[in-house]
Amino acid sequence: MISVDGDGRLRVAPANNLDTVFRFVYRAAMEVDWDEQLEDFYTPIPKEWSYSDWFSQICAAVHSEMGVHLRITSSTVWKNIPDDQRQKIENGSDQQTT
């Protein structure tokens, strides 16, 4: 699931939970953290960056620290993401290596 929480932070919940590994994402020093309770990645509230920028940052941090590629699929659930931001996230993820 890709969502924006009540505080305005982007959250990405991977389909396959590798909690024991994902919790170390902070070591990438890319402002991406893992929420053990909600089992998702989250970012700071966007100020200068867009949600698509932060999605790319989450993907880069997870790949850098864990060697895992996050992908958007037809079964990805979207919650509280404005349509224009969803399109930017989807278009940006098409350009990422899978």
What per-residue confidence (pLDDT) applies to 62?
Answer: 93
d(CA 38, CA 52): 21
- pTM for this entry: 0.88
Edge-to-edge order in the sheet of strand 2-4: 33-35, 40-42, 10-12, 2-4, 78-79
What are the angstrom distances between the C-alpha of 67 and each of 32, 52, 86? Answer: 15, 21, 25
Band (17; pLDDT cuts 50, 70, 90):
low
**Range from 2-6, 12-16, 78-82, 87-91 carrying the lowest mean pLDDT:** 12-16
For the chain, what is the mean pLDDT?
A: 89
Q: Domain boundaries in the chain?
A: 2-90
* Three-state DSSP class for residue 81: coil
What per-residue confidence (pLDDT) applies to 23?
Answer: 86
Q: β-strands 40-42, 78-79: how paired?
A: unpaired
Please state which architecture CATH assigns to domain 2-90: Single Sheet (2.20)
Burial zone of 32 (CB within 10 Å; 0-12 exposed, 13-18 middle, 19+ buried): buried
Is the predicted pLDDT of residue 96 greater than 80, yes or no? no
Is the predicted pLDDT of residue 70 greater than 70, yes or no? yes
